[in-house]
Amino acid sequence: MSLGEFELIKRFFADAGPRCEDVTLGIGDDAALVRVPDGTELVVTVDTIVAGAHFPPDTSAEDIGYRALAVNLSDIAAMGAMPAWATLALTLPAADESWLEGFCAGFFSLARAHDVTLIGGDTTAGPLTVTVQIMGHVPGGRALRRSGAQPGDLVFVSGHLGDAAAGLALIEKRADTSNAAHRDFLIERFLRPMPRIGLGKALRGLASATIDISDGLGADLGHILEASGVGARIDADQLPRSRALIETFEPMRAFELALAGGDDYELCLTLAPDRVRLIPDIEAAASCVLSRIGVIESRPGLVFQDGTPVSSTLRGFDHFSR
């Protein structure tokens, strides 16, 4: 006999994952109660991932669980916040116990790594859809935003760009490689993005603007420019690309993936010139590498080093323009 909704919740979610003292009342009531630390602001974000739109339908349950939480943690990182609590709305074609075990393994492995407590949610029947809401906190007035970039600020990105989109292309057989190590690396970058929580924390009070790269650098840097009322000039040669990406794709395709591929969940940020000397300290605190890729200008728009505008086809992913 298949699991009922409440049995499903009790068995797989009610007592799973870390349990923190700041949760007064968790799963099992009409709503949860949490204590927000004194002197902090509550940070809230929510993301939905849908089979066939955000991940291939045959993606493993464990990878889906991990990815569903990771993409939300990336938003928390972009705000310079620390994650604390999550809610989960899970729409399932069927109450498959084996699938649920895998999903929970992926979800709660990442939750434990970041001390995130699942405090509530909902389950229903329908096409596979996962909605996760993350709540966290940041010291009052210290949250990072998109709107602070100023002319003269330098533009940086963390990690490498384009790997995740390359991994998806390999999964969907739109690309191929005989190098098994490169293939595994790129696919892992799509399935298991690394939220830059430590980097966001290290950037508090230093970065003038930040955003996570989910829809592609061109699109997401564009959001910073719009929110800040500025423009930017980027150096295409400085976009950080992994060896796996470079050796798997032709140069132009690797460049396009790095600029517009999306799903990297790295951070894009701007720093005033007098703070660039702090980059080594930031990298050490966050255990990641930052690459300088451009400069903020007063003239609106996103252009390459030679002044050529970045075309709309390189501006990244938009659900409603496909």
Q: All domains of the chain, ordered by start, with CATH?
A: 5-139 (3.30.1330.10), 154-321 (3.90.650.10)
Q: What is the pLDDT of residue 322?
A: 46
Among 18-32, 187-201, 236-250, 264-278, the minimum mean pLDDT is found in 18-32
Amino acid letter, 141: G
DSSP 3-state assignment of 212? strand
List the structure tokens of 107.
């979800």
Q: What is the pLDDT of residue 13?
A: 67
pLDDT digits (tens, 9 = 90+) for 77-112: 999 999 999 999 999 998 888 999 999 999 999 999
Q: How far apart are CA 63 and CA 80, in angstroms?
A: 25
- The alpha carbon of residue 302 and the mean position of all alpha carbons in its chain are separated, in whole angstroms, by 22
Beta partners for 189?
A: none
pLDDT above 80 (res 28): no
pLDDT above 80 (res 131): yes
CA atoms in the 13 A half-sphere facing the CB of 151: 8
Return the CA Rg of the chain.
20
Q: What is the pLDDT of residue 5?
A: 64
How does residue 9 score in pLDDT terms, banded at 50, 70 and 90? Answer: low
CA neighbor of 117 nearest in space, from 104, 99, 135, 105:
135
Percent of the chain past pLDDT 70, that is, above it, reads 89
Mean pLDDT of the chain: 91
- Work out the average pLDDT over 114-122: 90
Q: Which residues contact 44 (CB under 8 A, 6 or more apart)?
A: 133, 134, 135
Q: pTM to 2 decimals? A: 0.90
Instruction: Tell how many helices (H) and how many strands (E) occur in the chain.
Output: 10, 12
Q: What is the pLDDT of residue 31?
A: 82
Q: Which residues contact 221 (CB under 8 A, 6 or more apart)?
A: 155, 211, 232, 234, 268, 302
Please give the sequence-ordered ranges of beta strands (E in DSSP) within 152-264, or none if there are none.
154-158, 209-212, 231-234
Q: How far apart are CA 296 and CA 159, in angstroms?
A: 20
CA neighbor of 144 nearest in space, from 72, 230, 85, 224:
224
Q: How far apart are CA 67 and CA 189, in angstroms?
A: 10
Q: How far apart are CA 276 and CA 292, in angstroms?
A: 10
Q: What is the pLDDT of residue 319?
A: 45
Q: How far apart are CA 283 and CA 27, in angstroms?
A: 38
pLDDT above 90 (res 21): no
More confident residue, 243 or 318: 243
